[in-house]
Amino acid sequence: MSDTPSSRPARPPHEGIPPVDLPDDVRLDTRAVREGLPRSRWGENSEALFLTSSFVQPDAASAAARFGNEEEAFIYSRFANPTVAMFERRLAALEGTEACIGTGSGMGAILLTAMALLKAGDHVVCSQSVFGATLMLLGRDLAKFGVQTTFVPPCDLPAWRAAMRPTTRLLFTESPSNPLTEVCDLRALADIAHEGGALLAVDNCFCSPALQRPVEFGADLIIHSATKFLDGQGRVVAGAVCGPRQLLDTQFMPVMRSAGLTLSAFNAWVVLKGLETLSIRVLAQSQRALELAHWLQQHPQVLRVHHPGLPSHPQHALAMAQQAGHGGAVLSFEVRSLQAGGVAAARAAAFHVIDSTRVLSITANLGDTKTTITHPASTSHGRLTEDQRQAAGIVQGLVRVSVGLDDVRDVMADLDRGLSTLPH
């Protein structure tokens, strides 16, 4: 399989294929279950899974025209597939963007963004509280290719402004952050980016479009680890970038065609079906998380709780305005260590709480209908030095919970088993 070079930009081949026939004014919940491509000639009600690597062309002349981007058609599943296209259209509709490109993972979406927008000599400003692999990709891996990144505290707007350089092309953040749930002012960050001639990319994995649509606050690109809430049932690894059509077509698609960051049709189909229940899942999980956060806050063995829905959260008002009045389904809390012994005792206390659970899943994944629990300092942020972790507030006593659809009373009982038996 080789790509014929074309002087025209590499457009997604499904761009000219009509969308599913929906009235323009149907609402988001309806789009979440119906947006996509038209049904095939067989009239299936559930979207078809096109498990095919390539597409048969009617004749050699058509194949030439299609490879040259003169005619719209599916050619090869490395860069376009009808099931993937349905997922892309549905997610773009939910995020309120013109277009979307599915990728094999959330990190693939971030790498695609970097490869599409940056070259040697360019500069990125990034929140210091982003996912561990994102820190590594931007701070270590891209540095090898001459891209410099400055990391700043996510809520410190003067620090974002001060970090801007004439070569800054991209600002990158997550909101709320993992695991401390810090909430960034997205509108202010979009303004800083645009005044400096840069773009703002927001990793919207924690909220999903069910709670937060960063494009409404001026963000240019929305990144997803679809592995999280979009799938919602912990089945597949997947990702996506949402943004303006022109930008994705001209700068992202050429990289997509050559770099092989492809989302598989099967995984796209799983996430496509996940999107149908996204909003009811995320709202229910967010409500359970708030209940759990209030319960933890009054627990004598808990030092502090991080959840944007709590009035005590430092950016509570901003979170309510940006996240449709919801705090989200992820929280973290610091276990009160009953032993003297600093960092080691704090870690032992957190491990005790985690190991005392009988219902919760001990896994670093989040956004699942099953409630998950993890120790960020030794898992998602385990590659940082202890000093970096302390600076970022990822202390050893911290435990993160992603609240699922379990009965929240069972989650409380599971956590209380360890909290009420901490070693003295």
Ligand X SMILES: Cc1ncc(COP(=O)(O)O)c(C=O)c1O
Position 106 contacts ligand X (CB under 6 A): yes
Q: At what angle do helices 278-297 and 408-419 cross, to 10 degrees?
A: 40
Q: How far is the CB of 297 from ligand X (least distance, A)?
A: 24
Q: Which is nearer to ligand X, 108 or 309 (CB)?
A: 108
Under a CB-based contact definition with an 8 Å cutoff, are residues 357 and 415 in contact? yes
Shortest distance, position 240 Cβ to ligand X, whole Å: 10
Q: Which is nearer to ligand X, 69 or 262 (CB)?
A: 262
Confirm or reject binding of residue 262 to ligand X (CB under 6 A): no
The contact mask relative to ligand X for 63-102 (x = CB under 6 A, - = no) is: ----------------------------------------
CA distance 327 to 396: 24
Amino acid identity, position 407:
D
Q: Which tokens belong to 26?
A: 């149907």
Residue with Cβ nearer ligand X (133 or 412) = 133
> Does 173 interact with ligand X (rule: CB under 6 A)?
no
Q: Which of 219, 230, 237, 353 forms a contact with ligand X (CB under 6 A)?
A: 237
Q: How far is the CB of 127 from ligand X (least distance, A)?
A: 11
Q: How far is the CB of 109 from ligand X (least distance, A)?
A: 8
> Which of 113, 149, 150, 178 contacts ligand X by CB under 6 A?
178
Rounded Cα gap, residues 240 and 8, in angstroms:
24
Contacting range for ligand X; rule: CB under 6 A; set: 55-63, 104-112, 211-219, 396-404: 104-112
> Which region, judged by CB under 6 A, interacts with ligand X, from 6-14, 68-76, 103-111, 212-220?
103-111
Which is closer to ligand X, CB of 178 or CB of 337?
Answer: 178
Which is nearer to ligand X, 178 or 285 (by Cβ)? 178
185 close to 157: Cβ distance less than 8 angstroms: yes
* Beta bridge pairs of residue 199: 170
Contact present, 359 and 347 (Cβ < 8 Å): no
231 lines the binding site for ligand X (CB under 6 A): no
Residue of this chain nearest to ligand X (CB atom): 106
Q: With contacts defined by CB under 6 A, how many residues of the chain interact with ligand X? A: 13
Among residues 337 and 371, whose Cβ is nearest to ligand X? 371
Q: Is residue 239 part of the contact set for ligand X (CB under 6 A)? A: yes
Sorted by sequence, the CB contacts under 8 Å of residue 15 that are 6+ apart come out as: 72, 249
CA 152/CA 149 separation, integer angstroms: 10
Q: Is residue 174 a contact point for ligand X (CB under 6 A)?
A: yes
Cβ of residue 20: shortest distance to ligand X, in angstroms?
27
Q: Does 168 bind ligand X (CB under 6 A)?
A: no
**227 belongs to the binding site for ligand X (CB under 6 A):** yes
368 binds ligand X (CB under 6 A): no
Closest separation between CB of residue 5 and ligand X, Å? 31
Query: Using the rule CB under 6 A, is 131 a contact of ligand X?
Result: yes
Residue 105, interface with ligand X (CB under 6 A)?
Answer: yes
Cβ at position 192, least distance to ligand X in Å:
21
Among 150, 225, 301, 337, binds ligand X (CB under 6 A): 225
Instruction: Name the packing angle between helices 408-419 and 342-355 (round to 10°).
Output: 140
State in angstroms the smallest separation of the CB of 348 from ligand X: 25
Task: Compute the least distance from the CB of residue 222 to ligand X, in Å.
Answer: 12
CB of 281 to ligand X, least distance (A): 17
The 199-218 contact track toward ligand X, x by CB under 6 A, reads ----x-x-------------
220 binds ligand X (CB under 6 A): no
Query: 344-360: string of b/e by CB count within 10 Å (b at 16+)?
Result: ebbbbbbbbbbebbeeb
- Which residues contribute to the site for ligand X (CB under 6 A)? 105-107, 131, 133, 174, 178, 203, 205, 225, 227, 237, 239
